[in-house]
Structure 1
Amino acid sequence: MKLLWEMKAPPAALSDFVSGYWKFHNVSESDYNTIVVPDGRVDVICFRTENGVQCVLRGLDTEPGQGTIPAQAEYFAVNFKLPASEYLFGKSMAPLANSGEMLPHGWWGIIEDDLADLEHFCQKISSVLLTLVKPLDPRKRLLFENIYASNGTMTVQELSDKSGWSSRQINRYFHDWFGLSLKAYCNIVRMSASFQHISEGRLFPELDYTDQNHFIKEIKKYTGVTPKELSKNTGNRFAIITALKNLDS
Structure 2
Amino acid sequence: MHDKLEYKSIQPKQDLSYFVDSFWCIRNASDKTLETIGLPDGRIDLSLLQSPEESFRIMLLGLGTKQYEKGRIPANSLTFVISFKLPAVEYVFHESISDLLNSGKKLENNFWEFNENDLEDFELFCEKASLKIESLLLKEIETRKQKLFSLIYQTHGAMTVKELSEKSSWSSRQINRYFNTYFGISLKGFCSILRFRASLEHIAKGKLFPEENFSDQTHFIREVKKISGSLPKELFQNKNDRFILLSALSTK
Post-superposition shift, 1:228? Answer: 0.8
Post-superposition shift, 1:207? Answer: 2.1
Between 48-57 and 209-218, the greater mean CA deviation after superposition:
48-57
Aligned partner of residue 123 in structure 1, secondary structure: helix
Asked whether the 8 Å contact 2:51–2:75 carries over to 1, the reply is no
Map 1:17-56 onto structure 2 (within 5 A).
17-48=19-50, 53-56=56-59
Between 57-66 and 127-136, the greater mean CA deviation after superposition:
127-136
Asked whether the 8 Å contact 2:175–2:187 carries over to 1, the reply is yes
Residue aligning to 2:88: 84
Aligned partner of residue 202 in structure 1, secondary structure: coil
The answer to whether 1:61 aligns with 2:64 is yes
Post-superposition shift, 1:114? Answer: 1.4
Distance 2:48 2:59 in 1: 6
Which of 119, 123, 131 is 1:119 aligned to? 123
Distance 2:98 2:116 in 1: 30
Residue aligning to 2:153: 148
Aligned partner of residue 180 in structure 1, secondary structure: coil
Distance 1:238 1:49 in 2: 21
Residue aligning to 1:177: 182
Which of 215, 218, 222 is 2:223 aligned to? 218
- TM-score normalised according to structure 1 size: 0.96
Match of 1:27, as an amino acid? A
Residue aligning to 2:107: 103
Aligned partner of residue 179 in structure 2, secondary structure: helix
Asked whether the 8 Å contact 1:52–1:111 carries over to 2, the reply is no
Match of 2:131, as an amino acid? S
Asked whether the 8 Å contact 1:6–1:118 carries over to 2, the reply is no
Post-superposition shift, 1:52? Answer: 6.0
Distance 2:224 2:187 in 1: 18
Percent of aligned pairs with the same residue? 45
Distance 2:109 2:237 in 1: 39
Map 1:130-141 onto structure 2 (within 5 A).
130-134=134-138, 135-141=140-146
Residue aligning to 1:200: 205
Match of 1:26, as an amino acid? N
Aligned partner of residue 55 in structure 1, secondary structure: strand
Which ranges in structure 2 are unaligned for 5 or more consecutive residues? none
Which of 5, 8, 12 is 1:6 aligned to? 8
Aligned partner of residue 96 in structure 2, secondary structure: coil
Match of 1:41, as an amino acid? R
Cα RMSD (Å): 1.3
Aligned partner of residue 59 in structure 2, secondary structure: strand
Q: Deviations over 1:124-150 (max 9, x none)?
A: 100101111123211111101100000
Aligned partner of residue 37 in structure 2, secondary structure: strand
Match of 2:233, as an amino acid? K
Match of 2:149, as an amino acid? F
Match of 2:226, as an amino acid? K
Asked whether the 8 Å contact 2:40–2:67 carries over to 1, the reply is yes
Aligned partner of residue 30 in structure 1, secondary structure: coil
Match of 2:57, as an amino acid? Q
